Structure 1
Amino acid sequence: MTRLFLLIVIAAFLSSCTQKVELEPSKPNVIYILADDLGYGDLSCYGQKKFSTPNIDKLAGQGMLFTQHYSGSTVCAPSRSALMTGQHTGHTYIRGNWERPPEGQHPLITENPILPELFKQAGYTTGAFGKWGLGYPGSEGDPNNKGFDVFFGYNCQMLGHHYYPYFLRSNQDSLVLEANAGTKTGIYAPQLIHEKTIEFIEENKDKPFFLYVPSIIPHAELFAPEEYMERFRGKFDPEHAYKGVDEGERFRKGPYGSQPESHAAFAAMVALLDEQVGEIVAKVEELGIADNTIIIFTSDNGPHLEGGAQPDYFDSNGPLKGYKRDLYEGGIRVPFIASWPGKIPEGTTSDHISAFWDILPTFTDIIGAPAPGNIDGISMLPTLSGKGTQSEHEYLYWEFHVWGGRKAVRMGDWKGVQYGISKDPDVPIQLYNLKNDIGETTDVADKYPEVVEQIKEIMGSASTPSEIFKF
C-alpha cells in the first residue's frame, strides 16, 4: 500500500509539472521588418495596380492590416528614434537627420532603455540587419551599445544610399566588399544582408529572439540586380531616366548613381523586398516556430522624390497628399501589417489610429516586460489580439526641423498642419477633416476656429526643448 501510494504521489507530481509546462507559453519571437521610403500605396494589398506584392499581401491575409498607422517622422533617423524610444518627435532625442562624417549619424542618447535593451532584459537574443542611422560606430548610439547582440549592414544612412557599397558593418568590424571595388557591382548589399538575416533566424530558432530588419529598399538610388530588372523592363514605358554621380570623389559617398530605367528599377526593388519578406515567413514556418513568432511589416515614412523616383507615376501615396519630408498624410501615414498565427485574427483590417511610438509598449506588453515611464506610446495589443479594451490617443504629434520647420497634430478626425514656423512661429495652422477629406485638399481652419485653437495649444505644449534640434 505504501509503495502504491508513493507511485500515485509521484505520478500526480509529474503530471502537475507537465501541465505547468504545457500551460506556460514560451516568449514569442518578434520580427519587425522596416522598409525604407515605401509609400502607403506601394503594396498591392493597399491598392497598388502597376505591380503586385504577393508575399506581403499573403502576410496581410494571415494577420491584420492597419489603415491609420503612422511613422515616427517624415525622414529616416527621427522616425527610427521614435520607434526605438517609444517617444514622438517632440520628446525623442533624435529629431532630424544629422550626419557625423566620415560615417554615421549623431548618436541616440537616452537614460531609458530602448527596444533591443528591453528585449535583452527579458532574456531575448537580439539582432539588427540593414540600416541603423542612430549613432556612428563606437558611439553611445552604436547598435551594439544599444542592446543588439548582432548587427550587420549599414551603420550610416548616408552610405546606405548605395546598393553596391565598398563595405558593410559586421558588429564592430568593417567588412570590405572587394566585389564592389571601383565601379564594380559584384555584391548587391540587400541580398547579402538578407542571407545574414536568415542565418540569424536559423541560429536562434530554439530561443526567443527579437529580429529588427530595417531594409534599405526602396530608398534611392534606384538599383536592382539584372534578374529583377528583366522582369519589369519595358513594362512601364515611357521610361524615366535619371542622371546621377557615376564617378569621381563623391561616387558612392552619398549622391545617387544614374538610372536610365527608373520605373522598372523601382518595381524591381519592391519585388525583391517582397520576395525577402516571403522568405522570412517561409523560414519560420520551415523551422516550426511560426505559431510563436510575431511578424510586422511597415515603412519608415512616405515615398521619396530622389534618384529618379516618380511616386505619382506609381500612385505610391494612394489617396494621400504629400511625400517624404511632408507632414501631410503622404509623408507619415504608412502601411502596417501584423501577423501572429492563432493570436492575431486572420484577414482582418483595423482603423485604429496608431504610430511608431506605440510599438515599444506593445512589445513590452506582449513579452511581459516593464516599459519606461516617460513614453508617449500606448499598447496596441488589445487591437491586435481582439481582447480587452483598446486605449486611444488624445492626439498624435510630429515636428520636423528642416524645410522651414513643420509641425502636425492628428486629433480624432482632425489634422492640423503648420509649415514655415522657423521664419514665423505664428504662421496660420491648416486644418483638415480626414474623415471627409483624406487627401487634405480643403483647409477648413476658418470654419472651426475652436478646433484650431485646441491644436495650437497641443503644438505649444507637446514638445520639450532640444539641445541639438531647434526651429
Structure 2
Amino acid sequence: MKPILLLLILTTAQTLFAQQRPNIILILADDLGYGDVGYEGQQKIHTPNIDRLATLGMRFTQFYAGTSVCAPSRASLMTGRHTGHTAIRGNRGYQPEGQYPLPDSSLTIATVLQKNGYATGAFGKWGLGYPGSTGIPGKKGFTDFFGYNCQTLAHNYYPDHLWANDSLVHLPNSKNKDSVYSADLIHRHALEFIRRNRSRPFFLYLAYTLPHAELQVPHDSVYANYLAEFRDAHHAAYAAMVTRLDRYVGEILRGVQAGGLGANTLILFTSDNGPHREGGGDPAFFHSSGPLRGIKRDLYEGGIREPFIAVWPGKITPGATSNWTGAFWDFFPTFEQVAGIPTTKAIDGFSILPVLLGRPQTAKAHDYLYWEFHENNGRQAVRWGKWKGVRLDVNIVADPPIELYDLETDPGEQKNVAAQHPDIVRQIKTDMQESHRSNKDWPLLATENPKP
C-alpha cells in the first residue's frame, strides 16, 4: 500500500473515532431564575428557543446550583465539589481585576477532558482567578478562552477590554458606549469554536453574562417592544436581556445542527444561581423564582434551584421530565462517563448519565445535598429527601437554629416545621457539621468554633 494512501486511511479512521466521542456543550446563564423561562411558567418574557430545547430533551424540576452566588457556584461546577469542600466559597475580589483563584491542587473537569483528547473552550465570564494566578482558564484545562476574567468587570456590557486566553483585547467602548456589546462578541467566538472543532470531540463551556446586572442591551434588541409593554426601563432591559440569551441558545443549537453534530452532542442549559435584585432587577415583577422562596444570595429554593435541560438526540427522550435531585457537582463525573473516561473518585458528585438515558434506577443518589454561603453573616442548607434545612447567621450567632421545611407539601418554604421534627433537625445539623471542611480562608464559626 502506498504511504500516502495509508496516511489517508489512518487520518480518516482517526477522524471517525474522534467524532464518535460525544461533544459536550454546557450553557450557563447568569442570575437567571427558576421561573424566568417560558417552560417553567414565565408569562412576561419570551424564551421560544429555551422552551424548544425543553421539548427536545429532558427537563429537571429539582436540580441545584453550586450555591447562590457566582464564583463559588462555578467553582463547584468545575471541581465536582460542593461548597463545603471547594477552594472558592465566596465572591472575594482582587484589584485591579479578578477573584480568589482556584489553586494548583484543584482539578477541573476541563483539565480531565483536555487530557483525554477533547478540545476545550470557555466563553463568557470566568471569575475563578485573577490574571496571572493559578486559577486562570489556561491553567484549568481550557485551550480557548474569550471573555471576562473578572466577574465584577462583567457588570459592564460595554467594557474597554476582554481577554483572549492570556492576552488583553482592547475594545473601542470608552467614547462610544454602544459600539461593541460584549455578550454578542463572546457569542460569536463561541460559534466559531464549534465550527473550528467539528472534526474532533469538544467541551464548550458557555458562561454567558446575561441577564446579570447591569441591565444593558444594544439598540438592535427587542428592548423597545418590552418598553412599550411594561413602560419601565429596567423591566424592559431585563426582559430584553433574557430574550437575547434565548436567541443565543437558538443559534448554538442551529450551529450544532448545521455542522452535522446534533446526534453526537450533549447540550445542557442551566443557571449559576437565582435571580438578582441589583441594578434595577425586579424578580417580584417577573415572578422570576416561580413558586419558590428567595433570590440570589438566599439558600432557600429560589436562590439555588435552577432551570435545567439536557438534550442529546437519540439518547435522551424528547419531552421527558425528571424530579431527580442533583447539583452542579454532579456535572464532573457525568461528563467523564459521557466521554468514556474513568470517573474521578475524590469528588462529591455522582454521574447522572443513567438518569439522562432513562435508567434512574441504576444511578447513584445523594444521601443529601449541602450548601454553605459566606456572605450575609454566613448561611448553610441541606436537602435531605423531602426535607430542607436552612441555618442563618452562622458567623455571628452561637449555634443558630435550623429552619425545617417539607418540600413535598411546602415547596415555597413558608411553614417552618422544625419544632415538630426535632429528630430531623438533629440529623440535618450533623450533616452540616460533617459537610463543612475547615478552611482558614472560609471559616464557618457555628460549625468550626461556636461562640460560647
Q: TM-score range by the shorter chain?
A: over 0.9
Fraction of identical pairs, as percent:
52
| Structure 1 residue 111: Cα displacement | 2.3
Does the 8 Å CA contact 1:302/1:332 hold for their aligned counterparts?
yes
Q: Which moved more, 1:222-231 or 1:313-322?
A: 222-231
Q: Return the index of the structure with the highest Cα Rg.
A: 1
Residue in structure 2 matched with residue 202 of structure 1 by the alignment? 195
| Structure 1 residue 372: Cα displacement | 2.6
Q: Secondary structure at the match of 2:279?
A: coil
Match of 2:388 among 412, 415, 424: 415
Partner Cα separation in structure 1 for residue 162 and residue 35 of structure 2: 31
Does the 8 Å CA contact 1:302/1:333 hold for their aligned counterparts?
yes
Partner Cα separation in structure 2 for residue 393 and residue 172 of structure 1: 38
**One-letter code of the match for 1:468?**
D
| Structure 1 residue 370: Cα displacement | 2.5
Residue in structure 1 matched with residue 435 of structure 2 by the alignment? 462
| Structure 1 residue 182: Cα displacement | 3.5
Residue in structure 1 matched with residue 415 of structure 2 by the alignment? 442
Normalised by the length of structure 1, the TM-score is 0.89
Partner Cα separation in structure 2 for residue 416 and residue 97 of structure 1: 23
Confirm or deny that 1:315 pairs with 2:287: yes
| Structure 1 residue 155: Cα displacement | 0.3
**One-letter code of the match for 1:160?**
A
Residue in structure 2 matched with residue 33 of structure 1 by the alignment? 27
Confirm or deny that 1:402 pairs with 2:395: no
Partner Cα separation in structure 2 for residue 25 and residue 279 of structure 1: 21
Match of 2:48 among 54, 63, 78: 54
Match of 1:370 among 339, 342, 346: 342
Partner Cα separation in structure 2 for residue 462 and residue 330 of structure 1: 22
Q: Secondary structure at the match of 1:233?
A: helix
CA distances 1:139-195 after superposition (whole Å, capped 9, x unpaired): 1101011110010000000001110001000111111101x0136221100000011
Match of 1:390 among 346, 350, 363: 363
CA distances 1:384-433 after superposition (whole Å, capped 9, x unpaired): 01136122110000001110110000000000000011111411100000
Match of 2:37 among 32, 37, 43: 43
**One-letter code of the match for 1:212?**
Y
**One-letter code of the match for 2:235?**
H
Partner Cα separation in structure 1 for residue 351 and residue 106 of structure 2: 18
Alpha carbons of structure 1 residues 73 and 20: separation in structure 2 relative to 1, 3 Å:
closer
| Structure 1 residue 112: Cα displacement | 4.7
**One-letter code of the match for 2:170?**
V
Does the 8 Å CA contact 2:15/2:200 hold for their aligned counterparts?
no
Residue in structure 2 matched with residue 267 of structure 1 by the alignment? 239
Match of 1:141 among 125, 135, 139: 135
Match of 1:227 among 212, 217, 220: 220
Q: Secondary structure at the match of 2:20?
A: coil
Does the 8 Å CA contact 2:178/2:218 hold for their aligned counterparts?
no
Does the 8 Å CA contact 1:112/1:372 hold for their aligned counterparts?
no
Match of 2:402 among 426, 429, 441: 429
Confirm or deny that 1:88 pairs with 2:61: no
**Is there any run of 5+ residues in structure 2 with no aligned partner, and where?**
1-11, 445-452
**One-letter code of the match for 1:338?**
A
**One-letter code of the match for 1:156?**
C
Residue in structure 1 matched with residue 126 of structure 2 by the alignment? 132
Q: Which moved more, 1:420-429 or 1:437-446?
A: 420-429
Does the 8 Å CA contact 1:304/1:323 hold for their aligned counterparts?
yes
What is the aligned-residue RMSD (CA, Å)?
Answer: 1.7
Partner Cα separation in structure 2 for residue 144 and residue 396 of structure 1: 30
Q: Secondary structure at the match of 2:346?
A: coil
